[in-house]
Amino acid sequence: MPLTKTITSLPEIDQVMDQSMQAFLEYKKINATDRAAFLERIADEIEALGDILIRTTQEETNLPEARLLGERGRTTMQMRMFAAMLKEGSWLEASIDHAIPEKVPAKPDIRKMLVPLGPVVVFGASNFPYAYSTAGGDTASALAGGCTVVVKAHPAHLKTSSLIAAAIQKAIEFCKMPNHCFQHVIGTSFEIGKALVQQSHTSAVGFTGSFSGGRALYDYATVRPKPIPVFSEMGSTNPVLLLSDALAKNAETIATQYAGSITLGVGQFCTNPGLLIGVGSEGLDTFKITLANAINQVAPAKMLHSGILNAYETNRSNALTTKGVSTISNNNVVNENSAAPMIAHVKGIDFLTNENLKEEVFGPYALLIECSDIEELKKVWTSVSGQLTTSIMGSDKDFETNPELMEMASQIAGRVLLNGVPTGVEVCASMVHGGPYPASTDSRYTAVGVNAVKRWVRPVCYQNCPDHLLPDALKESNPLQIKRMINGNPYQ
């Protein structure tokens, strides 16, 4: 029986969260090997759904098969990555300080490790129906950390979400995990999301989506009698610096590269490069013309759903009617219900004086900002809010001339790219997917990579605890054979 439940009332939410808390008290005790096997089984069950999953998602999202196959692979890979993390064990940050009885005052034996927070509520994204949704990074990392999970299905892909939830349910049964360690709910109103965040058992929230949605959940959580952490990964305009020497040498190549990145997946990535910033020059003119020509040749394509298409057209129109903004591309192909890619242009001075131009236009769109000099370029760059990424297209000469740019970049974003495009988020230990607000509500965490688990756990220490009462991770003999900090020396 897949645990998909349509909830319409507060008592139903209480029941779901009560069940999640009951399951949590069992689930948190399950050892790392069994928890890892559970995550691996989820990956297997998702793969076992086969073509029906891909076809269902194609119908619901307009995303092409190749993209969905890739995203499914990433989703199952993430599950297996967290399983591997559990088996390896150093993520627990186990740390032992031995007693020093002769110290004055005597130093007690103290041992620390991470423990799960409790039930986590996950709101998935529409643009990643697998990798940031029902069995996505938030769910995988929370289950890995020992938290139970309640996913509120995204209304744009309910069938996909239910199929994935059924696969997870099969894994729960196969691995004999506690009932309700994962639950899947369908909420029919905005109030359901709010109530899920504010239910007393809810211990943390993961969200991927719009700024307005992510901020609303954050606000619901912080006014609770007992506030809880919210990890909202929100919009980003991902500013790109186009430096003069790089443009002088490679304007055409860079333009072609960026035409691909701007229109990849109909521009529906949170890392889509929305602001291109350069100083007026011959190189920038070449870049402009090449980019516009390339964009004109990209066929309009269907977006995820009509709501996203409407928002794209409205937001783009708001930008285009702003003082000083013009279009430099001219893509006139008309496909019904499809989003035409577009490049707009504005001078630095007009960008700086029109706040609305700093807002994300989610879709295959970018605004080229032409600055009068490098000082104005830096002003434009640092005038935008916190970002998931910022990219610099620059030659060695550019960086010699402007050595301060690297340091500035780390102030602006969670990920700094050199001579590349921000679309494409590698899943690995060094990845940071997050950034200063409003890229995310807590810049201290990443939503991608094994460190994503750190959002759902907290440290506990045990003082003078007899060895047989300690969790295995902290026992003197190290039965789990994990790397631990011993007396302040890392990773013995």
Q: Which residue has the tokens 């349910």?
A: 169
Q: Which stretch binds a second copy (CB under 8 A): 180-188, 274-282, 285-293, 421-429?
A: 421-429
- The residue range among 88-96, 129-137, 181-189, 326-334 that interacts with a second copy, by the rule CB under 8 A, is 88-96
Considering only 19, 75, 78, 95, the residue that binds a second copy (CB under 8 A) is: 95
Beta strands in 209-279 (DSSP E): 230-233, 240-242, 275-279
Interaction of residue 248 with a second copy, rule CB under 8 A = no
Q: Which of 236, 312, 438, 452 binds a second copy (CB under 8 A)?
A: 438
d(CA 175, CA 297) in angstroms, rounded, equals 51
When asked if residue 458 is in the footprint of a second copy (CB under 8 A), the reply is yes
Residues 98-127 that bind a second copy (CB under 8 A): 105, 107-108, 110-112, 115, 117
Rounded least distance, CB 246 to a second copy, Å: 13
Count residues near a second copy (CB under 8 A): 75
Q: How many CB atoms lie within 10 A of CB 114?
A: 19
Asked whether 146 and 453 are in contact (CB, 8 A), the reply is: no
Applying CB under 8 A, which part among 52-60, 190-198, 255-263, 459-467 lies near a second copy? 459-467
> Is 370 marked active-site?
no
Task: Please identify, among the stretches 31-39, 297-305, 346-354, 427-435, the one whose residues bind a second copy according to the rule CB under 8 A.
Answer: 427-435
Q: Is 176 in the site for a second copy (CB under 8 A)?
A: no
Nearer to a second copy, 156 or 432 (CB): 432
Give the number of other Cβ atoms within 10 Å of residue 428's Cβ.
Answer: 10
Binding to a second copy by residue 190, rule CB under 8 A? no
Smallest gap from Cβ 485 to a second copy, in A, equals 6
Contact between 36 and 65 (Cβ < 8 Å): no
- Restricted to residues 369-388, the positions that interact with a second copy (CB under 8 A) are 385-386
Q: Does 460 bind a second copy (CB under 8 A)?
A: yes
Selected binder of a second copy within 22, 252, 347, 462 (CB under 8 A): 462
Report residue 62: phi and psi, to 5°: 65, 10
Q: Catalytic residue at 270?
A: yes
Q: What residues contact 265, with CB distance under 8 A and at least 6 apart?
A: 63, 67, 127, 423
Nearer to a second copy, 464 or 477 (CB): 464
Report the distance separating Cα 112 and Cα 473, nearest Å: 9
- Does a cis peptide bond (omega within 30 degrees of 0) precede residue 341? no
Show the CA angle centred on residue 347, arms to residues 241 and 277, nearest 5°. Answer: 5
The helix, strand and coil proportions of the chain, stated in percent and rounded to the nearest 5, come to 45, 20, 35
Should residue 443 be labelled a site residue for a second copy when binding is judged by CB under 8 A? yes
Question: Which tokens is 41 given?
Answer: 């089984």
State how far Cα 472 lies from the chain centre. Answer: 32
Residue 212 within binding range of a second copy, rule CB under 8 A: no
Q: Catalytic amino acids?
A: 233, 270
